[in-house]
């Protein structure tokens, strides 16, 4: 059964949306994802409660979002819903808090069954990712397939099943190992010089890079920049973080400076010896790197046709970066023609990065999945 039972509908009507969700659902086996934006997102409780009444045997993750799109591009409508039904080996997880209790459940599920993948939607702030602590502590060298996105805190998400709609701060769709997967992440940035190694830190303070005060390194890298663009810290992972077939970079915000100590304040702690650089957003390099990652992902599938995709597009990657809202969806469609996918716009994106899982900004994170016939 194919997940082409997918739709997007522009409507302000809760009843109209739920009727489309009902018609989308082909069987009791599997789970559904419903992504809401605009007025429908603000009215998510009514959508979830009506869905629970009309489809008591079905399982749905219903989530508000900051914006949605499909392979056809980004919707500019004021009120819109997307849906996709995923048959087969799937399940839902959720927590009233995005905490270690949910994290233990997620870690048990992903690590207990290698090859399992997860889409996680969380309304918790990126500075509070305690839900990831059990996974980080227990994964060791085990590969983890996870993509995650931020959703609006005020409206959040709901798990729907058995005539019950339960509000959750964090929800996950688990795709069993029968859904073969591949995940890539690309950062929309241009480096402002070579990478260096972190040689001194204190808490969230970055004090030295290659034994030079971090603020001095930043000043050197940015002295010839025009128009004073926003500058990020870029973390690098892997043996070849700048490989032409796709870089392995994670962008993090610089939240402050300490001139007296010549240091930078970051949003999270980073480890000694981490390779880092400074970067700015760049449309052309973003296109090249994303295309390289997509090509590598396609080649890695060894001819296996993908069934569907899930895409998280970082805030700032749309028209602000490219001058077009649909650049990323078009590149995905070009590399994987005919593949249906749904996606969300998100301020922060989560996926595996080196031996960690960290929130990123300005990233495009794509998961491509195949289903058993």
Contact 147, 174 (CB under 8 A): no
Listing from the earlier edge strand, what are the strands of the sheet with 79-86?
Answer: 6-10, 79-86, 31-38, 60-64, 157-161, 164-168
Look at residue 220 in the predicted model and tell me its pLDDT.
97
Q: Which three-class secondary structure state does DSSP give residue 131?
A: helix
Contact 65, 344 (CB under 8 A): yes
How far apart are the C-alpha atoms of 264 and 259, rounded to whole Å?
9
How far apart are the C-alpha atoms of 284 and 327, rounded to whole Å?
11
Q: What pTM value is reported for the model?
A: 0.94
Q: Which two tokens stand for residue 360?
A: 């990123």
Indicate the domain borders of the chain.
6-183+287-369, 189-281
H/E element, 158 = strand 157-161
Chain centroid offset of residue 217 CA: 30
**Which residues pair with residue 161 across a beta bridge?**
164
Look at residue 28 in the predicted model and tell me its pLDDT.
64
Chain centroid offset of residue 57 CA: 29
Look at residue 76 in the predicted model and tell me its pLDDT.
63
Contact 250, 363 (CB under 8 A): yes
Query: Rounded to the nearest 5 degrees, what angle is found at the Cα of 364, between the Cα atoms of 125 and 145?
Result: 75
| pLDDT by 10s per residue, the chain, length 373 | 444 445 556 677 899 889 888 887 766 678 899 999 999 999 999 999 999 999 888 899 999 999 998 887 776 677 888 888 887 789 999 999 999 999 999 999 999 988 899 999 999 988 888 999 999 999 888 888 999 999 999 999 999 998 999 999 999 999 987 777 899 999 999 999 999 999 999 999 999 999 999 999 999 999 999 888 999 999 999 999 999 999 999 999 999 999 999 999 999 999 999 999 999 999 999 999 999 999 999 998 877 778 889 999 999 999 999 998 899 999 999 999 988 889 999 999 999 998 889 899 999 999 998 865 5
Look at residue 121 in the predicted model and tell me its pLDDT.
98
Q: Which two tokens stand for residue 324?
A: 């077009």
Sign, CA dihedral 72-173-336-239, equals positive
**Could you tell me the maximum CA-CA distance found in the chain, to the nearest angstrom?**
64
Check residue 242 and report its DSSP letter. T
SS3 content of the chain, % helix, strand, coil (to 5): 25, 40, 40
Where does residue 71 rank: exposed (0-12), middle (13-18), buried (19+ CB within 10 A)? buried
Look at residue 2 in the predicted model and tell me its pLDDT.
47
**Which residues pair with residue 78 across a beta bridge?**
none
Could you tell me where the DSSP H helices lie in the chain?
Answer: 14-24, 39-42, 44-54, 100-112, 133-138, 214-222, 283-300, 319-322, 327-335
Q: Which residues of 13-32 are buried (b: 16+ CB within 10 A; e: fewer)?
A: ebeebbebbeebbeeeebbb
Q: Which three-class secondary structure state does DSSP give residue 132?
A: helix
Chain centroid offset of residue 96 CA: 20
């Amino acid at each position: 059964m194919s997940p082409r039972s997918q739709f997007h509908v522009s409507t302000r009507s809760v009843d109209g949306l739920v009727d489309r969700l009902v018609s989308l659902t082909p069987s009791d086996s599997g789970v559904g994802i419903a992504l809401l934006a605009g007025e429908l997102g603000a009215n998510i409780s009514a959508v979830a409660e009506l869905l629970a009444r009309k489809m008591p045997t079905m399982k749905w993750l219903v989530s508000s979002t900051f914006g949605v799109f499909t392979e056809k591009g980004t919707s500019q409508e004021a009120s819109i819903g997307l849906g996709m039904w995923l048959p087969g080996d799937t399940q839902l997880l959720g927590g009233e808090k995005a905490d270690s209790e949910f994290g233990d459940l997620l870690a048990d599920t992903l690590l207990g069954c290698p090859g399992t993948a997860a889409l996680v939607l969380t309304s918790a702030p990126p500075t509070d990712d305690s839900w990831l602590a059990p996974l980080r502590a227990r994964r060791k060298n085990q590969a983890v397939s996870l993509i995650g996105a931020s959703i609006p805190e005020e409206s959040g998400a709901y798990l729907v099943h058995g005539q019950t709609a339960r509000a959750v701060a964090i929800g996950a769709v688990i795709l069993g190992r029968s859904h073969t997967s591949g995940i890539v992440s690309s950062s929309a940035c241009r480096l402002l010089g070579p990478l260096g190694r972190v040689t001194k830190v204190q808490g969230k303070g970055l004090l030295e890079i290659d034994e030079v005060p971090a603020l001095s390194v930043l000043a050197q890298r940015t002295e010839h920049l025009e128009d004073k663009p926003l500058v990020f810290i870029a973390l690098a992972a892997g043996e070849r973080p700048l490989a032409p077939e796709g870089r392995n970079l994670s962008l993090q915000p610089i939240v402050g400076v300490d001139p007296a100590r010549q240091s930078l304040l970051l949003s999270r702690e980073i480890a000694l010896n981490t390779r880092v650089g400074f970067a700015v957003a760049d449309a052309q390099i973003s296109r090249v790197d994303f295309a390289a990652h997509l090509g590598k992902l396609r080649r890695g599938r060894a001819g296996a046709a993908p069934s569907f995709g899930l895409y998280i597009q970082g805030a700032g990657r749309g028209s602000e970066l490219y001058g077009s809202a649909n650049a990323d969806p078009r590149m995905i469609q070009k590399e994987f023609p005919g593949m249906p996918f749904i996606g969300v716009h998100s301020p922060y994106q989560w996926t595996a990065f080196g031996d960690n899982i960290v929130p990123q900004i300005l990233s495009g994170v794509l998961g491509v999945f195949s289903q058993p016939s």
